[in-house]
């Protein structure tokens, strides 16, 4: 297990230095080419867990250190071990011994001779003082909730009745939710197929089926055949809210990785253009469409520009705009520590360019669905309200109540819960 601790510590160190975990973890794994699949899996779990509860682990470690550590690798190794001692089921004695061994195996530059003794002393001191430290940190919100203080303050202001539940939901392990292509198989029929494979699952609404236990996609019946896709329940609302019918001309702006793209085509035979500013990410969209045996016109272009536009208006536009991703932190645990408060305004400014640009591409009477995976109001209803003030030809339509029957939401804002992540939806129609 000490190898898993080393890998996780390296990945966490990279994230705290500003690198995305989806890049940091593979980079850390390359340093240990002989790691077993079990060690690699454990390293991923430790990386996600440590970052999920970094605020808590860091608060404990700060209390335990007499002075800052000069070696970041030792610091993050201690963070991983403290996370384990707080949340992992592993034996405490084993965790401490593995951490001591792990620090002795650190590569260039080799740690000083005192490192083993320091790690051992700090972790054993933590075990002795755990209850005392917990009482001391009980009033420190960053330690209690494991979010930056500015994030906590913003949610408390914007969601006075929900902020604590939202923070706690963001620290849960996300469910694995499937989207069933009901054009190929019925919900009940698919549930029976899962049951025959001894996979426990339940239907939670729409085309969404949630697995009792996560599974590799290679073990999910029908995945390779395009019968089902992996997609959060909240994200599955987009295609149905867009109000599509066969034959319409549809634009999926900012489409990567293509989950909503595929869902649109599953629901109706439309003329779909799927656009993204990153040509590399469009390859992922193409792979998803290939698995689903569906087709769309893929276009590498900027949603805030009309240089690519051919002059033919779209009947429907899905504007799934770039955002802070503050509603999906349980899946992307690094976001909490990579984002800065100033990023909210930066994303809002980008959205304020994209929305008006896409609006001019919409046919009269057409509908545009504005979507974010954020819970911050500046990116959501406030953004829409500002847009409406500047565009008298735009009207915000009420969202169908039935679409939100089993979801926790406030006026189009999905509140993160055990069943779904946090998304915002606003449906606009051109007069």
Query: Helix or strand or coil: residue 367?
Result: strand
Query: Helix or strand or coil: residue 199?
Result: coil
Q: Which of 254, 255, 323, 373 is catalytic?
A: 373
Distance separating alpha carbons of residues 212 and 191, to the nearest angstrom: 12
Residue with tokens 């682990």: 57
Task: Please report which residue ranges of 223-327 form alpha helices under DSSP H.
Answer: 237-241, 259-267, 279-292
Element (DSSP H or E) covering residue 166: helix 163-170
Which residues have a Cβ under 8 Å from the Cβ of 53 and sit 6 or more positions away?
A: 83, 86, 87, 146, 171
What are the Cα distances from residue 180, in Å, to 162, 207, 226, 246, 388? Answer: 31, 5, 9, 20, 35
Pairing of strands 249-253, 314-320: parallel
Q: Considering only CA atoms, give the Rg of the chain.
A: 24
Structure tokens at 180: 């069933």
Pairing of strands 228-230, 176-180: antiparallel
Residue with tokens 């201690």: 78
Query: Helix or strand or coil: residue 222?
Result: coil
Q: Verify whether residue 373 is a known catalytic residue.
A: yes
- Which residues belong to the active site? 373
């Amino acid at each position: 297990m000490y190898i898993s601790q080393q890998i996780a510590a390296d990945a966490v160190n990279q994230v705290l230095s500003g690198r995305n975990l989806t890049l940091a973890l593979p980079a850390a794994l390359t340093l240990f080419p002989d790691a077993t699949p079990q060690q690699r899996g454990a390293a991923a779990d430790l990386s996600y867990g440590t970052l999920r509860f970094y605020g808590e682990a860091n608060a404990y470690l700060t209390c335990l250190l007499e002075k800052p550590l000069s070696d970041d690798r030792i610091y993050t190794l201690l963070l991983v071990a403290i996370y384990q001692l707080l949340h992992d089921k592993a034996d405490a004695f084993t965790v401490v011994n593995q951490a001591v061994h792990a620090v002795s195996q650190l590569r260039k530059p080799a740690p000083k001779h005192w490192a083993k003794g320091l790690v051992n002393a700090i972790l054993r001191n933590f075990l002795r003082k755990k209850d005392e430290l917990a009482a001391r940190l009980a009033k420190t919100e960053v330690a209690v909730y494991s979010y930056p203080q500015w994030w906590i303050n913003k949610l408390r202001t914007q969601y006075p009745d929900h902020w604590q539940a939202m923070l706690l939901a963001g620290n849960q392990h996300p469910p694995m939710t499937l989207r069933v292509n009901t054009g190929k198989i019925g919900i009940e029929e698919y549930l029976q197929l899962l049951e025959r494979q001894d996979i426990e699952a339940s239907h939670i609404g729409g085309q969404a089926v949630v697995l009792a236990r996560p599974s590799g996609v290679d073990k999910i019946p029908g995945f390779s055949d395009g019968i089902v896709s992996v997609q959060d329940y909240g994200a599955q609302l987009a295609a149905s809210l867009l109000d599509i019918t066969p034959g319409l001309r549809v634009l999926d702006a900012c489409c990567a990785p293509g989950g909503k793209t595929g869902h649109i085509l599953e629901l109706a035979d439309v003329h779909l253009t799927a656009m993204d500013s990153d040509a590399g990410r469009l390859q992922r969209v193409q792979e998803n469409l290939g698995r689903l045996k569906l087709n769309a016109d893929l276009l590498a272009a900027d949603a805030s520009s009309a240089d690519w536009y051919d002059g033919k208006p779209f009947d429907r536009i899905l504007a799934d705009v770039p955002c802070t991703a503050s509603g999906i932190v349980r899946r992307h645990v690094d976001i909490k520590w990579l984002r800065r408060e100033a990023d909210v305004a930066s994303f809002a400014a980008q959205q304020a360019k994209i929305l008006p640009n896409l609006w001019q591409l919409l046919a009269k009477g057409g509908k545009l669905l504005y979507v974010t995976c954020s819970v911050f109001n500046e990116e959501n209803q406030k953004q829409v309200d500002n847009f409406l003030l500047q565009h008298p030809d735009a009207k915000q339509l009420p969202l169908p109540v039935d679409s939100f029957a089993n979801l926790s939401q406030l006026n189009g804002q999905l509140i993160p819960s055990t069943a779904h992540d946090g998304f915002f939806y606003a449906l606009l129609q051109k007069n």
